[in-house]
Chain A
Amino acid sequence: MKKKLLSISLILSFIIYAAYERITGLSALSVAINRESKKNNVPIADSTYIPTTPVIQPHRVPSEDDYEDDDGFFGSLFGKKIPSPTKPPVQTSQPKPATPTPVSQPTPTTPTANPGLYRSGEYIGSVADAYYGNVQVKVVVSGGKIADVQFLNYPQDRNNSIRINTYAMPILTSEAIQAQNANVDAVSGATATSAAFNESLAFALAQAKN
């Protein structure tokens, strides 16, 4: 009797188990693991479930202000994207505020006692090496400050009219520039002019300092 009961219960339990396995479609091993993980580490089991309700991400339609807000872009451009140089380049052009000496007439021949100030006058930089027309700058110093930097080499003749398709109205679009991590083949830029500009300006400023 005991043997029969035991065998029946054994068969029953086997049938139940087989049915359970069929329904769940899981192997005994995975069920065991699943149970264990559910028991011991509920958050892991929970995290595997994808919520049925879609998560609505906050979506913002860009407005006109985004493109017109120069200050905002400017701030981010200089504050974040472009690292500021380690030494402040402003210093070459910044005056010592203690002795403001506005001079109306250029007096470049008079030596100045204060070495931190640029002497007033007009200084022309060297013609620096650039393929795009040589870069040469003129620096106007007034009251120890750089009042103006002019390009001497670029054609300044603005009175002539452009003769190509002047009837066509230009259709131009604008965008804020953004730095990209693009794996490009080559880069187009005016680096030669940049270096030449720096060179010529530095020469002019060297003259302005005593």
Chain B
Amino acid sequence: MGMPIIVEIDDREASSELFNEVFSYFVSVDEKFSTYKETSEISAINRGELKEEMWSNDMKEIFALSEETKRLTGGYFDIVTRNGTYDPSGLVKGWAILKAANILRSHGVKNFYIEAGGDIETSGKNTEGNSWYIGIQNPFNKKREVVKTVYLRNKGIATSGTYLRGQHIYNPNDKNKPLKDVLSLTVIGPNVYEADRFATAAFAMENAGIEFIERLEGFEGYQINHDGNAIMTSGFANYISNSYV
């Protein structure tokens, strides 16, 4: 998949076995849900080779959650692609991170974060005993550069976006008109699964996405537009200062 996964544990319980368990869990999820692996369960379903009663419990769960998310987002979230196949990857990443976090929690680990491809579940405190200090990536820059920071504890954060910077793609009829107003949308939620699925759906809503997040209780959003301006929800400022310490 080529997706970086980072697990940081700041408890004494941290052992290499624990890390291995988490990483092998991600491998098993990828082997089940990757639409780019012919051997995956989802590929078999898309080829029409697997009947619904033969699906794994994980697959049934993902399809049920997708259906629910589609309903909650007014159809903006849909795992059915244009050519009629299923692609649940917009949901699976956040779901897998949350499941991996629950593996750690079941072992009594309290202080950790798990990041997979820019989506993060935070739990407890960092090494300094503070809330986890998380940055939001500059969508204009391909290199790692932060344009906003938040303090998170037992929250999830996910960013959906298209980073057009560096492509210089424009409409030749109106060179000042960007192809897409919204470059990235970062969502903070009660956990990474919730943050991820609503970030994905709200990003598809383009300019209306941030208003959708504003109306979602327990969620905050930070939207970065093509003109270099950011729009944030009313409660986002609560995460800017380290109020826990």
Chain A residues close to B by CB (< 8 Å): 67, 70, 73-74, 77, 82, 85, 88-90, 93, 129-135, 145-149, 151-158, 160-166, 168, 170-180, 182-195, 197-198, 201
Closest to A76 in B: B228
Of the candidates A70, A187, A191, the one whose C-beta lies within 8 Å of that of B228 is A70
**Once the chains bind, are A185 and B8 in contact (CB under 8 Å)?**
yes
CB contact under 8 A between A153 and B229, given known A170-B214, A188-B159: no
| 7 interchain pairs, CB-CB under 8 A | A77-B140, A82-B141, A85-B166, A90-B168, A93-B169, A162-B212, A195-B2
Tell me the complex Cα distance, A184–B2, Å.
23
Taking a contact as CB atoms closer than 8 A, the residue among A148, A176, A191 that contacts B230 in the complex is A176
Instruction: Please give the distance in Å from A133's CB to the nearest CB on chain B.
Output: 4
A156 to B162, CA, bound (A): 16
Q: Which of A161, A162, A174 has the most CB of B within 10 A?
A: A162
Within the complex, which residue of A154, A161, A184 is in contact with B135, where a contact is CB–CB below 8 Å? A184
Number of B residues with CB within 8 Å of any CB on chain A: 88
Within 8 Å by CB of B215, from A133, A158, A170, A198, lies A170
What separation, in Å, do the CA atoms of A156 and B113 have in the docked complex? 34
**Cα(A145)–Cα(B206), bound, Å:** 25
Residue of A with least CB distance to B158? A188
CB pair B90 A131 closer than 8 Å: yes
B16 is an interface residue with CB less than 8 A from chain A: no
Most central of A70, A131, A182, A186 by chain B CB within 10 Å = A131
Binds A, one of B17-25, B47-55, B102-110, B117-125: B117-125
Contact with A along B136-175 (1 / 0, CB 8 A): 1111111011111100000001111111111111111100
A73: min CB distance to chain B, Å: 5
Tell me how far the C-beta of A89 lies from the nearest C-beta in chain B, rounded to whole angstroms: 5
> With A129-B36, A184-B146 known to touch, is A177 a contact of B229 (CB < 8 Å)?
yes
A93 to B166, CA, bound (A): 12
- B172: chain A residues within 8 A (beta carbon): 145-147
B211 within 8 A of partner (CB): yes
Which residues of chain A are within 8 angstroms of B56 by Cβ–Cβ distance?
Answer: none
Partner of B231, one of A162, A173, A186: A173
B100 at the interface (CB under 8 A from A): no
Bound Cα distance from A67 to B204, whole angstroms: 27
Q: Is the CB of A184 within 8 A of B120?
A: no
Given contacts A74-B227, A85-B166, A160-B75, A133 and B87 within 8 Å (CB-CB) = yes
Contact B132 A185 (CB under 8 A): yes
Q: A163-B74, A185-B113, A185-B134 are in contact. List 15 more A-B contacts (CB 8 A).
A: A89-B166, A130-B89, A131-B89, A131-B117, A154-B204, A156-B204, A157-B75, A160-B76, A162-B205, A164-B215, A172-B234, A179-B145, A188-B136, A189-B159, A191-B118
A201 touches B167 (CB 8 A): yes
Within 8 Å by CB of A193, from B146, B157, B161, lies B161
